[in-house]
Structure 1
Amino acid sequence: MKVTVFNGSPAGPNSATQVIADAFLKGAASAGAETQTVYLRDCHIGHCRGCFACWFKTPGLCVQHDNMADLLELYNTSDIVCFGTPVYTWNMTAYLKNFVDRLTPLKCPTIQEDHGHFDLEDAQAKTQRFVVLANCGFPGEKNFEVLRAAMACCNPSLEIYRNCGRLLKMQKPDVQEKVNEWLKAVEAAGAEMASGQDVSAETQTALEMPLMAVPDYVKILGMG
């Protein structure tokens, strides 16, 4: 079992996104999984040129010679692929979006339709499961709506959306106590998925726990 996080945060290993990823990977490792994080900010990934050579001229191969070839191999050989990102202007970061755009060689130029939604067929059947790990510095759930819609395209097995995300790295003892309680649920989710299970109802409920009341969070940020 191989579990890989593709972290699209510009803050890389120092990001709140990685706080979530570390907990998930810790749980996965406890179940015997091989784990890895790729910090996309540190990778050389050019923008997709829209030339479609990877479909018609050199199927499965991009004309650009950068880090993406190795990342595609890692993506394809992972049993669980985690997309990690903070919410930037309603959606995933540019680092993660660029990476997702460069997954184009995994498609083939055959159009398929599903209830009015048109897409391209996969060049080969996906065997991995997908997880979304995201945080937002604002309170509430509405700020994840665009990201949820975008990520629905990969049919994720698990989505972890953490509002009040600034609390994840806050050092106040009372805050950290609540954050650590929540991270234990993230860890449990990683262990369950790496064991080949679905995330239990109990764990899913724990993942949705609030960290702080909205007025208190706004006050602690000094942005009220």
Structure 2
Amino acid sequence: MVDGESGRSTAEPVGIDLVAPEVFAPMLRKLRLAALGLGIGATLLSSLWLSWPYAILLGLIVAVPTIGYVIAFQRRRMLLGGTVIHAHRLFGARDIDLAAATGVQLLVFPGRLSRIVLRVTAGADTQLVPLAMYTDAGSGRELHLLALRKLADALTASELVAEVLIAQLRAEARDAGLDERPLYRAVQLARAKDSVAAVVLTDSEVATLT
């Protein structure tokens, strides 16, 4: 999109969620309706031996936590506009500029379902951006191509990590095998350490991924 006054192009924000919130929308809608139905049922049933105010309170106790969780989940999402990550939460949002990052690391949470995330530090703020998750069987989910491209472009603070994302982008684009995908190899590195805690990949380890 072009800004008519300045003549500069302005990039539309791109979703960088590993799983887009829209994917869960039908399930969350059913969960919200189920919680509402249980709350109403609890209210009507308890009204047989409790006064209405207490019966309604009990119904709210049953329904509100689940409905609140659904609302919180729907609110959470991350967008990347230019070099700025916009992280939306239940209450408010937080912006982190990748161009001003003081630290960029690849962090692996090993396990039966291993996750690899980008940890960005800018001053006192830290933001985790999920990049991929893989099961022991070799299946999993990876961040979509456009998000990888935009993240790599924005990561001026770490050329090493940007190169890994570009290599991952190219591997996904040509449908390469898992062993040719840098993010999967990063998870394999972390699993080889036999650690139950999160593993921060060193610069030398990151360099071997591309």
Q: TM-score scaled to structure 1, two decimals?
A: 0.24
The structure, 1 or 2, with the larger RCO (C-alpha pairs under 8 Å, 6+ apart) is: 1
Larger Rg belongs to: 2
Q: TM-score scaled to structure 2, two decimals?
A: 0.25
